[in-house]
Amino acid sequence: MLYELFRWIHILSYLIWFGAFAGSLLYGFRIYLAKSLSTTYQLIQTERRLAKWGTIVGAGGIIISGWVLSNIPKGPQWGWFDVQLYPWLALKQLIFVIILALIIFDLRRSKKLVQWIQENKADDRVEALKKWSAAYCCSIVVYILVVISTLLGWYKPGLTSFG
């Protein structure tokens, strides 16, 4: 029962992250189509907020549920796994560490961007889009790595059974 609960929390965390990905793509499209500076600023702030909270909830849920799942005596016992036996899981963990490092960088960049917008340091849309694009590209890299990590977890390449 406990294993299934945290397994679903783990899955839900990934789904939240994918929802934030879809939302970021939608807002990214709307940002490029926006004509007025105030609309652009508002959309950028909303997109950055969506990316921030989707990432925090997604990554946080994955970290907590993954830790619990690795310590529950039910279900597959990955625990401190043998890297040679489960290379897909080792790669998945390495990708997640890279994701966490990128998240820290992305959250800092987004915070500076939102502060810059709120202080109205810009009076032209081009500069705002330039700064936003830098933050947005980092988020997209994180989302792509999340997709790769999810596919590794889903297909478990090289794993034929749980033993």
Tokens 């987004």 belong to residue:
110
pLDDT at 83: 61
| Residues 6 or more apart whose Cβ sits within 8 Å of residue 153 | 92
Cα–Cα distance, 117 to 95 (Å, whole number): 32
Using N-to-C axis directions, what is the helix angle for 2-33 and 37-71, rounded to 10°?
160
Highest mean pLDDT among 97-106, 111-120, 128-137, 149-158: 97-106
DSSP state of 79: S
**Residue 162 three-state SS:** coil
Kindly state the tokens that stand for 38: 């105030």
pLDDT tens digits along 29-68: 999 999 888 898 899 999 999 999 999 999 999 999 988 8
Burial of 37 (0-12, 13-18, 19+ CB in 10 A): middle
Cα–Cα distance, 54 to 48 (Å, whole number): 10
98 CB neighbour count, 10 Å cutoff:
14
Residue 157 has pLDDT above 70, yes or no: yes
Rounded to 5, what percent of the chain is helix, strand, coil? 80, 0, 20
Give residue limits of the domains in the chain: 2-155
Could you tell me the pLDDT band of residue 76, with boundaries at 50, 70 and 90?
Answer: low
pLDDT at 161: 45
